[in-house]
Amino acid sequence: MIWVLRIAFLLILTAMLTVTVWASMDTAIWEIPASVASHPWFVASLFDAYFGFLTFFAWVAYRETSWPPRAGWLIAILLLGNMAMAVYVLIILFRLPADAPMKRVLLREEEAS
């Protein structure tokens, strides 16, 4: 299962980096037209994304045991979104052996043992 997750999160990271570079090369984020930025579905999508980021961060805050890493990951997640989230999960996945049980991914290290 760890290998499947490694591949999945590498694909997510690659896709997010690719689409972000592509979009950035086309239009700078500060040049988004007001008609787009104020569209109700754009606003709803931003709320959805950021509430998802905060939901993921709740797990990060649980898993990390001190405030400096928590704060760093919160900033990274809020600024980079799914790219930071994929990196966080990949760090965990590549620290584990390929045959590790899922509880080693999801729980704090001392609780997963």
Q: pLDDT digit string (tens) for 2-57?
A: 999 999 999 999 999 999 999 999 999 899 999 999 999 999 999 999 999 999 99
Q: Are 105 and 93 in contact (CB under 8 A)?
A: yes
Q: pLDDT digit string (tens) for 54-83?
A: 999 999 999 999 999 999 999 999 999 999
Q: Give the integer Cα–Cα distance in Å for 75 and 93.
A: 21
Q: Exposed, middle or buried, 57 (CB in 10 Å: 0-12/13-18/19+)? A: buried
- Half-sphere exposure (Cβ direction) of 67: Cα atoms closer than 13 Å: 0
Q: What are phi and psi of 65, to 5 degrees?
A: -105, -5
What residues does each domain of the chain span? 2-22+39-112
Question: Does residue 113 carry a pLDDT above 70?
Answer: no
pTM of whole model > 0.75? yes
